Amino acid sequence: MFDGFALEMIELPNATLRVRHGGSGPPVLLLHGHPRTHATWHRVAPQLARAFTVVCPDLRGFGQSSKPADQPDHAGSSKRAKAQDCVDLMHRLGHERFAIVGHDRGSYTAFRAAMDHPEIITHLAVLDGVPILEALERCDARFASRWWHWFFFAQPEKPERAILADPDRWYGGSPGQMGAEAYADFRAAIHDPATVHGMLEDYRAGLGIDRRHDEADRVAGRRVRAPTLVLWSLHDDLEELYVDVLAVWRPWTTGLGGRGLPCGHHMAEEVPDELAAELARFLAR
């Protein structure tokens, strides 16, 4: 897994991240979603490393990266805090400007990095996500029935107890789908109470402080300046919920493109070759 990549624990001003990095060329940062670790990229990152320097961290609160202290407003798990980790990490590795790709929950951190650090982010790719504010403002009975976990995970204590009672049954996954090493890394994460709590804090921040950051950007008229690629899973529910996914993103961007991919939600595991090709074309622009 990740042949030729280095694996390090890198201490930053506000977090310590487990990081896999390799390749050469323009830098790109890949951010995983919930409940995965950086290992979800193991079929995509080596392909991108033929032309790019690829960096794959466990996000703060996830995997083996450090867990932020609990705060009443969940600021330590905010996408703004995690976006700053991304900037600090890449600067520590010698990259002043870089592209960023985020899947699922990682897409919110990638989006926040592009909004907060427009002088640093060269390209933004979002995989299976829309801005948190858009999702919450468009919430209806259909969204609540499909994405009920957003609201359950935001409750105190109960989701931790439910998940940790049987993490394998709750999250599923298999070595056949994910790869044996990636699956073992994933299982270690979902069986760790501190990591489960850290992952859920990401959702708690999403319903509060992250939404407020999006609202402030909208009021100020800020948009992503970097070219933006949005890819979504045709066998998941973004099109069912929003019909025109790009239309949801258009008010937040200045240069936008994208399409659906023939896969389920975990596209880096299901269609890695197609995903790597799409990202390589976009990042080469």
Tell me: the pLDDT tens digits for 115-129? 999 999 999 999 999
Q: Is residue 33 part of a domain?
A: yes
Closest by alpha carbon to 85, among 117, 59, 67?
59
Residue showing tokens 């995965």: 36
Q: List the Cα angle 243/244/248 in 5-degree steps.
A: 115
Per-residue confidence band for 191, with pLDDT thresholds at 50, 70 and 90? very high
- Domain membership of residue 1 (yes or no) is no
Q: What is the pLDDT of residue 97?
A: 98
Q: Is residue 181 in a domain?
A: yes
Catalytic residues: 104, 265
Q: Give tens-digit pLDDT for 2-37.
A: 999 999 999 999 999 999 999 999 999 999 999 999
pLDDT, residue 70, reads 97
| pLDDT band at 216; cut points 50, 70, 90 | very high
Predicted confidence (pLDDT) per residue in 67-101, tens digit: 999 999 999 999 999 999 999 999 999 999 999 99
Tens-place pLDDT, residues 135-188 = 999 999 999 999 999 999 999 999 999 999 999 999 999 999 999 999 999 999
Q: Which domain CATH number covers 76?
A: 3.40.50.1820
- What average pLDDT does range 205-227 have in this prediction? 98
Length of the chain measured in residues: 285
In percent, how much of the chain has pLDDT > 70?
100
| Alpha carbons within 13 A on the beta-carbon side of 199 | 29
Task: State the pLDDT confidence band at 131, using cuts at 50, 70 and 90.
Answer: very high
Whether residue 136 lies inside any domain: the answer is yes
* pLDDT for the residue 173: 94
Closest C-alpha to 272, from 40, 116, 117? 40
- Two tokens, residue 146: 């499909």
Domain presence at residue 36 = yes
DSSP string, 235-256: TSSHHHHHS-HHHHHGGGBSSE
Query: What is the per-residue pLDDT for 210?
Result: 98
Structure tokens at 206: 């999403």
Q: Which domain holds residue 110?
A: 6-283
Q: Which SS3 state, helix, strand or coil, does residue 152 take?
A: helix
What is this structure's pTM? 0.98
Longest Cα separation, the chain: 47
Structural domains of the chain, count: 1
Numbers of helices and strands, H then E, in the chain: 16, 8
As to burial, measured by CB atoms within 10 angstroms (0-12 exposed, 13-18 middle, 19+ buried), residue 221 is: exposed
Pair type for strands 16-23 and 6-11: antiparallel
| Residue 168 belongs to a domain | yes
- CA-to-CA separations, 62 to 79, 186, 210, in angstroms, rounded: 13, 10, 18
Q: Give percent of the chain with pLDDT exceeding 90.
A: 100
Contact 230, 246 (CB under 8 A): yes
DSSP state of 76: G
Task: Say what the pLDDT of residue 233 is.
Answer: 97
